[in-house]
Amino acid sequence: MTGGLGVCEAYFKAQDGSVAPIQIKVHTGMFQNSVIVADWMRGLCDWRIFPSVFSVQPYHWSDGLKAVHIENVGEPFVFKGSCGDIVCKSGEVTVVKEEDFVGEGLFSPDTVNGKCLFSAEDLDL
């Protein structure tokens, strides 16, 4: 991440040690923008945040995602977890575990737990 406002690159590391790049999308909302880090095709992960200059507020954390490692290459910011704030210092890697964020803030019909509800793969044709 580059400070609280941007995600530069994202990767998913599986239990077998394999690493796969993950797509990053910025969603421009009517009231608030969000960053979506999700694997749309393989369903590996789905992690969503509301970024601001000084903080990041998660609103979705997919099942099976054990931790997010944030390498902050920008200004310091605060990750607003369910159990309290976690400071992400500049130039450091911060590990945010699944228990630091509990629950879903919003439901999004485009993808749940990394799997798109509207993809052809999920349809029984």
Chain segment 30-80, per-residue pLDDT in tens: 888 899 898 878 888 888 899 888 899 988 888 878 899 999 988 899 999
Coil, helix or strand for 99?
Answer: helix
Q: Where are the beta strands (DSSP E) in 46-92?
A: 46-51, 55-61, 67-71, 77-81, 84-88
Check residue 2 and give its pLDDT. 62
Nearest alpha-carbon partner for 35 in 49, 22, 21, 54: 49
DSSP-based helix, strand, coil % in the chain, nearest 5? 5, 40, 55
Q: What is the pTM of this model?
A: 0.76
Residue % of the chain over a pLDDT of 70? 77
Check residue 1 and give its pLDDT. 65
At 10, phi and psi to the nearest 5? -140, 140
Residues in the chain: 125
Coil, helix or strand for 93?
Answer: strand
**pLDDT-derived band of residue 111, with 50, 70 and 90 as boundaries?**
low
